[in-house]
Amino acid sequence: MGKPAAGAVENPGRLPPPEGALPSPRWLLALLFVALLAAFAAGIWGTILRPPAYEVRGTVVARPAPDLLLVRHEAVAALGMSAMELMGVSADPALLDAAAPRPGDRVTLAVRARGDRIVLLRITKTP
């Protein structure tokens, strides 16, 4: 065996990859890991930026305006409210129209505090 020619690269046992060959599985695995990590981080970041929502159970008292619902509710410790206080909930009129709450209906609400207002996110009637 002689010396390799000048400029030749020694690569014992390996052939150069053909043109247009796909990356090795190791690179694909690393790329998949980074993509999944980014998606996980984005999901967590979204929950950090959004303020919490609270569940409130109570009875509808009245709907004095298209965007307002009055509810007599159970205690909501997270909002500092004791049971049976009257709570005014601001809401999108379309959301209230879809649920069609009537005085006396038992409801479960998902609400969020926004400044000095309580905003309705979801409403469902309960038996």
- Helix, coil or strand: residue 56: strand
Q: What is the pTM of this model?
A: 0.58
DSSP single-letter state for residue 127:
-
pLDDT given at position 85: 76
85 and 68 within one domain: yes
pLDDT tens digits, the chain, 127 residues: what are they?
556 566 555 656 676 666 766 667 888 889 999 999 999 888 877 666 566 788 999 999 999 999 999 999 998 887 788 887 788 999 999 999 999 999 999 999 999 888 889 899 999 999 8
Which residue range(s) make up the domain with 120? 54-125
In a domain, 61, yes or no: yes
46 and 105 within one domain: no
97 and 43 within one domain: no
pLDDT given at position 6: 60
- Residue ranges of alpha helices (H) inside 50-104 are 93-99
Residue 100: half-sphere exposure toward Cβ, Cα within 13 Å? 1
pLDDT given at position 115: 86
pLDDT given at position 63: 95
CB atoms within 10 A of CB 105: 16
CB atoms within 10 A of CB 63: 19
